[in-house]
Amino acid sequence: MELFPIFALFFLGLPIGSFLNVVIWRLPREESIAFPPSHCPICGAAIKPYDNIPVLSYIILGGKCRNCKAKISIQYPIVELSTAILFALTWPLTGGHIGWELASALVFTGIGVAVTGIDYHHKIIPDELSIGGLVVGLILAPLSAGAWSGLLWAFVAALGGAVLLFLVRVGGQALFKKEALGFGDVKLIAMIGAFVGWRGVLLTVFLGALFGTIGGVAAMIFSREAREERLIPFGPFLILGGLVALYFGEALIEWYLSVFFV
Ligand SMILES: [Zn+2]
């Protein structure tokens, strides 16, 4: 296996992860992504470039602001490191060559990390990521497929996924007499569909529900907040399902069909 591209993508992922931290903080607060430059959210001090090195600065500063010594959230290095690892994985998982498929996987990963961070904190998924991501996904689909039909199939997958989750949403509301699934998740699955295709989007809904149930039970056990509010964001589980569908979808579907439809 070639190691250089894997390392290169890892080191590309670190600063992208830093940028995604800014997106996660500012997008739901409707602040500009570009201005002002990074500053401590507690004391407002500008963060010097040498204190803004992904992961490393957090360790050197002991997780504290250099100016006011306020605790910096562990989320910052976690997002940076996760993005770097997910970026590194795209190389072997998309077949190990430079092309639109790799670009598409990197874009999907970046959007997925931002959606996960924002939905986790705010229980919302900004349209910039879901609808904006859908548009980018529709543009990348024919390029990755190498044919215009890729656009049609991405559109079918986006619409099919959205219709499916919309029906789940309506059904859930009728059954539980409260909002079981947000409309943000409906828009999110459309975005995911554009990246993973129509078979992938069905698998994503299935895996998202499976991971969400496991995650929901775990949250109920370990978090008092989750027990009381009974509100667990579904977006991160759909993103996780989408990543599994993107990389292992064909293999999983083939395995499933071979076991149950011999
Ligand atoms: Zn500070």
Tens of pLDDT, residue by residue over 72-112, are 999 999 999 999 999 999 999 999 999 999 999 999 999 99
Most confident of 34-38, 86-90, 250-254: 86-90
Answer yes or no: do 30 and 137 share one domain.
no
Last residue in a domain, options 66, 98, 130: 98
In DSSP notation, the chain reads ---HHHHHHHHHHHHHHHHHHHHHHHGGGT--SSSSPPB-TTT-PBPPGGG--TTHHHHHTTTB-TTT-PBPPTHHHHHHHHHHHHHHHHHHHTTSS-SHHHHHHHHHHHHHHHHHHHHHHHS---HHHHHHHHHHHHHHHHHHHTSTHHHHHHHHHHHHHHHHHHHHHHHHHHHHSS-SS-HHHHHHHHHHHHHHHHHHHHHHHHHHHHHHHHHHHHHHHH-HHHHHH----SHHHHHHHHHHHHHHHHHHHHHHHHHH--
68 Cα: distance to centroid of ligand 1 (angstroms): 4
Q: Ligand 1 centroid to 53 CA: how many Å?
A: 16
Structural domain count of the chain: 2
For residues 3 and 117, state if they share a domain. Answer: no
Say if residue 77 is in the same domain as residue 112.
Answer: no
Mean pLDDT computed over every residue of the chain? 93
Q: Residue 38 C-alpha to ligand 1 middle, in angstroms?
A: 11
Q: Which domain holds residue 40?
A: 1-98
pTM of the model: 0.93
